[in-house]
């Protein structure tokens, strides 16, 4: 038993293998691959998870599976305990190469996210200069022309990724560097606590001893005069010592309000680089990368559909992939086109496509079938008109998710059972009639939903 406990990586590999036999692949990729085995404490297997959401999801959905896998591995009932990386202060640690039950060397840079690297940062015209500047800083920290480096832009565009990548690359080049990575809110909290406990000297030493200081969301210093004062002196000490400072912000330093003019002057003495919303090609590349990282195999048409509807935020693109995995696990179904459409509707506030409506669908069906729009929504039961009407009803349900009653009301106040019959008829014809399949595909393509 003790030998198994000492071989933490081997034990987790065995547990992971047991889980793979019981759970679908998408669940393993989403919820168990990111777990890092830490060691044993008080006869409990310590497992590090990225955040509280992971902990709660596994506890509510896979708790029994995890217990059974542990018991199968160890031959007896074993407890486990989750450690959240943020609380533990060692976010996304590398998997240890030896007995991880041994005390790990303490480092001040231990909250760098090791997943944020330059290698997996998707580059486009919107962020190429920012990435190049960040790499230069990582490889040559402290150079006056790029010190401080300020990366600015909107929410979810990759500023934090670049900042962590700087820290990770600098460490790769020189493992002895003392890198302090923190948010502006945590800096403020540390300062307030140092005042409360009369430990301002220790606070100053902690930050001023860093070789590279990384501070996220510097705009949150606005209105905090004492915090700005403390940061100003910290900045000066580090800058004069040739230490690198990297900051992220929501806007160009010259446009910031509520910060001391002398701070803004220091900020503008270095290099400011911006990251813009990704263009279509970059959004596609991001989605392909994130899908691959999470073990998802999605058709290109599906990736393109997501990229066309979610446009302004890298985090939203990543969140869509995670949401797909979460819903798939919750509903215990494989990811399919209908699920993709549902998730995209949620992300964009209930509608997909700025111009998609029942009227648009009827118009497109009319163009393809050469049946008048008025006839499609009218009373005629002629074969070609009835078929165009059924196709229209089917697409309203399939693309927009419109309720049966609302579809019936639009098409001449028909009963929901009539709509159900139309949906069934079209599905049967699609399965046995090549012409019907081509008609449906053509209309979907015209409407921008060819992947469905």
Digitized pLDDT (tens) for each residue of the chain, 452 residues in all? 444 445 677 788 888 888 888 887 777 877 888 888 888 777 788 888 877 777 878 888 888 888 888 888 877 888 888 887 644 333 333 333 333 333 333 334 457 888 889 988 888 888 889 999 999 999 989 876 788 999 998 888 889 999 999 999 998 998 888 899 888 888 888 888 888 888 888 888 888 888 999 999 888 888 888 888 888 888 888 888 889 999 999 888 878 888 888 888 888 888 999 988 888 888 888 888 888 877 777 777 778 888 877 877 788 888 888 888 887 777 777 777 677 777 887 777 655 554 567 888 898 899 888 899 999 988 888 989 999 999 999 988 887 778 888 898 889 888 889 999 999 999 888 888 888 888 888 888 777 665 55
Supply the range of the domain harboring residue 443. Answer: 358-447
User: What secondary structure letter does DSSP report for 34?
Assistant: T
User: Tokens 């777990």 identify what position?
Assistant: 35
What is the number of alpha carbons within 13 Å of residue 422 lying toward its C-beta? Answer: 27
Residue 168 lies in a domain: yes
Nearest residue to 344 via CA among 323, 315, 360, 359: 323
Query: Would residue 94 count as lying in a domain?
Result: no
Element (DSSP H or E) covering residue 248: strand 244-249
The per-residue pLDDT for 194 is 84
Name the residue with tokens 């050469």: 370
CATH number at residue 66: 3.30.300.180
DSSP character at residue 71: H
Contacts of 156 (CB under 8 A, 6+ apart): 313, 314, 315, 316
Q: Is 258 left (phi over 0), alpha (psi -120 to 50) or beta?
A: left
Do 271 and 132 fall within a single domain? yes
Spacing of C-alpha 196 from chain mean position:
37
Q: Residue 329 maps to which CATH number?
A: 1.10.8.60
Distance CA 191, CA 209 (A): 16
The CA distance from 366 to 392, in Å, is 9
Angle subtended at Cα 334 by Cα 319 and Cα 280, rounded to the nearest 5 degrees: 40
Q: Are residues 137 and 258 in the same domain?
A: yes
pLDDT number for residue 214: 93
Residue 405's pLDDT is what? 87
Looking at residue 306, its pLDDT comes to: 82
Q: What are phi and psi of 217, to 5 degrees?
A: 60, 60
Non-local CB neighbours of 171 within 8 Å, separated by 6+ positions: 109, 112, 177, 179
Whether 65 and 138 map to the same domain: the answer is no
Q: What CATH number is given to the structural domain containing 176?
A: 3.40.50.300
Spatial strand order in the sheet of 79-84: 36-41, 44-49, 79-84
Question: How many other C-beta atoms can be found within 10 angstroms of the C-beta atom of residue 352?
Answer: 23
Whether 59 and 174 share a structural domain: no
| 407 in any annotated domain | yes
Same domain, 193 and 218: yes
Is residue 121 assigned to a domain? no
For the chain, the 3-state helix, strand and coil shares in percent, each to the nearest 5, are 60, 10, 35
132 with 49, same domain? no
Could you tell me if 42 and 74 are in contact, meaning their C-beta atoms sit under 8 angstroms apart?
no
Task: Tell me, yes or no, whether 107 lies in a domain.
Answer: no
d(C-alpha 62, C-alpha 32), whole Å: 10
Q: Identify whether residues 156 and 259 lie together within a single domain.
A: yes
pTM, full prediction: 0.56
């Amino acid at each position: 038993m003790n030998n198994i406990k000492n071989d933490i990586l081997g034990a987790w590999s065995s547990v992971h293998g047991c889980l793979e036999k019981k759970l679908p692949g998408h669940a393993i990729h989403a919820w168990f691959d990111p777990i890092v085995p830490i060691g044993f404490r008080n006869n409990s297997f310590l497992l590090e998870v990225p955040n509280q959401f992971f902990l709660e999801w596994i506890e509510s959905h896979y708790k029994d599976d995890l217990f059974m896998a542990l018991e199968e591995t160890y031959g007896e009932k074993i407890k486990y305990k989750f450690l959240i990386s943020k609380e533990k202060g060692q976010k996304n640690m590398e998997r240890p190469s030896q007995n991880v039950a041994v005390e790990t060397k303490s480092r001040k840079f231990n909250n760098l996210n090791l997943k944020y690297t330059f290698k997996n940062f998707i580059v486009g015209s919107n962020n190429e200069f920012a990435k190049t500047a960040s790499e230069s800083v990582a490889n040559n920290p402290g150079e006056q022309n790029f010190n401080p480096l300020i990366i600015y832009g909107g929410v979810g565009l990759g500023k934090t990724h670049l900042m962590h990548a700087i820290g990770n690359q600098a460490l790769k080049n020189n493992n002895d560097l003392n890198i302090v990575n923190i948010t502006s809110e945590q800096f403020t909290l540390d300062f307030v606590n140092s005042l409360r406990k009369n430990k301002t000297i220790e606070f100053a030493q902690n930050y001023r001893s860093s070789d590279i200081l990384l501070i996220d969301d510097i705009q949150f210093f606005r209105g905090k005069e004492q915090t700005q004062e403390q940061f100003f002196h910290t900045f000066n000490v580090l800058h004069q010592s040739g230490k690198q400072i990297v900051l992220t912000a929501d806007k160009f330093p010259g446009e910031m309000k509520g910060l001391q003019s002398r701070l803004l002057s220091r900020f503008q003495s270095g290099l400011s680089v911006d990251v813009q919303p990704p263009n279509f090609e970059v959004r596609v590349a991001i989605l392909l990368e994130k899908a691959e990282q999470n073990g998802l195999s999605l058709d290109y048409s599906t990736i393109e559909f997501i990229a066309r509807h979610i446009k302004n935020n890298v985090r939203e693109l990543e969140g869509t992939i995670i949401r797909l995995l979460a819903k798939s696990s919750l509903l215990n179904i494989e990811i399919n086109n209908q699920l993709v459409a549902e998730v995209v509707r949620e992300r964009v506030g209930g509608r997909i496509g700025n111009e998609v409506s029942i009227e648009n669908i009827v118009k497109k069906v009319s163009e393809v079938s050469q049946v008048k729009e008025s006839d499609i929504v009218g009373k005629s039961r002629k074969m070609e008109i009835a078929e165009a009407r059924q196709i229209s009803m089917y697409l309203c349900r399939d693309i927009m998710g419109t309720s049966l009653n609302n579809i019936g009301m639009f098409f001449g106040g028909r009963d929901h059972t009539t709509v159900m019959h139309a949906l069934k008829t079209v599905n049967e014809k699609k399965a046995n009639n090549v012409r019907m399949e081509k008609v449906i595909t053509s209309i979907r393509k015209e409407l921008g939903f060819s992947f469905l």
